[in-house]
Amino acid sequence: MTRVSLGQSVAALSGVRAEESMKTTLSVIKADVGSIGGHIQPSRRLLERVAEVVDSAGKALIQDRYISYTGDDIAILMTHTRGASDEKVHKLAWDAFVAGTAIAKEEGLYGAGQDLLKDSFSGNVHGLGPAVAEMEIEERPNEPFLFFAADKTDPGAYNLPLYLGFADPMYCAGLILSPKMFKGFRFRIMDVNYTHGDKTIDLNAPEELYDIAALLRDNQRFVVESIWSRETGAQAAAVSTTRLHNIAGKYTGKDDPVMLVRVQGEFPATGEVLAPFEKCHLVAGFMRGSHTGPLTPSRLYTDISYFDGPPVVTGAAFCVHNGILTEPADVFANPFWDSVRAKAAEKSVYIREQGFSGAAMLGMDELEYGGIVEKLTVLEKRFKVKETKETKETKDAKKKK
């Protein structure tokens, strides 16, 4: 598919901004509502419909938007002054995805409406299926930030890059060179297995580095939800933490995460945030959301291919001023990343060499398909225990009781 011009940011939406001193909210809401040829990328008409709804219904609500896709997921990045979890802004995105779903059904796209798990909208999109990352910020005179979107993986995929980019001077030189960063950062980490509400813990880097690492090693359970500057108290990062698995109680697709990261000044430099992605570390996802594969830093508008993967992450850099976005800069387009992608391809093949065996496939708790549980239940009945003197004695003892 050709690249859509829809993705270009427009300053055409009027929004309401009474004073320049108002805070700006960055909201990104993403969903998979249908895809061409399997789970690989949305259709052009679907994207156009989503953009149409955002632009018409959002006229008096938001100031600017950038609509893009990464694999089969469509992300709507919006700027406004209404704060996080705003009902109207969330409903705007929900309505756009519902309208997109109608097109997906009309075109016979695969997985039409897949991430819209509830029939109707109530309050905000949390718990309804779409993933959300939001930040209400006091704009600096120049306000650069990065927007990341990943497909065929889950929110814990960002744990390692965030730890290295914000807490390890081997990656973030600013921690030793920039006085504005000497105090370090506060990590808010969520236990995503807890489903009765948001269960989080705040831990400070550098004092509590080992505690942070002890949690972040478990990407499936503990996920960085946000990061804050300890120098200014300002929010540096916001990550979507939705687990569709926990909402639907069954497989409905991976929780392909989005993330916003402010950069420069009291925050890490853009390149410090990007550097850890060179690792292409192994994450959960890939085929059927049930395997392990390298997180591959990819160009904007990258589709999905090999073994329904590899897991991909894209990054768009922006500056925002009085709520208006610049055009995006593609942070993984530089030729440097071509060799990184070649490494990721090698790592993909390397782990795929062992198919279903051991580390290549996720553990039973994380397998996204229930079919294997049914299979094991059937097989369990066919197991036979060989009778020995000991088993006979145990059986007899049980009978006597």
Exactly one of 254, 255, 279, 308 is catalytic; name it: 254
The verdict on whether 251 is a catalytic residue reads yes
**308 in contact with Mg ion (CB under 5 A):** no
**CA distances in angstroms from 128 to 91, 117, 131, 242, 336, listed in the order given:** 11, 6, 9, 9, 39
**288 in contact with ligand F6R (CB under 6 A):** yes
User: Alpha-carbon distance 343 to 89, whole Å?
Assistant: 40
Q: Which of 188, 245, 254, 279 binds ligand F6R (CB under 6 A)?
A: 254
User: Alpha-carbon distance 187 to 303, whole Å?
Assistant: 32
What is the pattern of x (binds Mg ion, CB under 5 A) and - over residues 92-131?
----------------------------------------
Sites for ligand F6R among residues 302-321 (CB under 6 A): 308
Determine the interface stretch with ligand F6R among 44-52, 128-136, 276-284, 287-295 (rule: CB under 6 A).
287-295
Query: CB of 139 within 8 A of CB of 24?
Result: yes
Q: Which of 64, 73, 272, 303 binds Mg ion (CB under 5 A)?
A: 73
Q: Which of 15, 31, 32, 155 binds Mg ion (CB under 5 A)?
A: 32
The count of other CB atoms within 10 Å of the CB of residue 317 is: 19
178, exposed or middle or buried, with CB in 10 Å at 0-12, 13-18, 19+?
middle
Exactly one of 110, 251, 301, 306 is catalytic; name it: 251
79, exposed or middle or buried, with CB in 10 Å at 0-12, 13-18, 19+?
buried
The verdict on whether 210 is a catalytic residue reads no
User: Alpha-carbon distance 267 to 131, whole Å?
Assistant: 24
Q: How far is the CB of 166 from ligand F6R (least distance, A)?
A: 28
Helix (H, G, I), strand (E, B) or coil at 243: coil
The count of other CB atoms within 10 Å of the CB of residue 399 is: 7
Footprint of ligand F6R on this chain (CB under 6 A)? Answer: 38-39, 152, 253-254, 287-289, 308
Footprint of Mg ion on this chain (CB under 5 A)? Answer: 32, 39, 71-73, 151, 253, 256
Residues with catalytic roles: 32, 251, 254
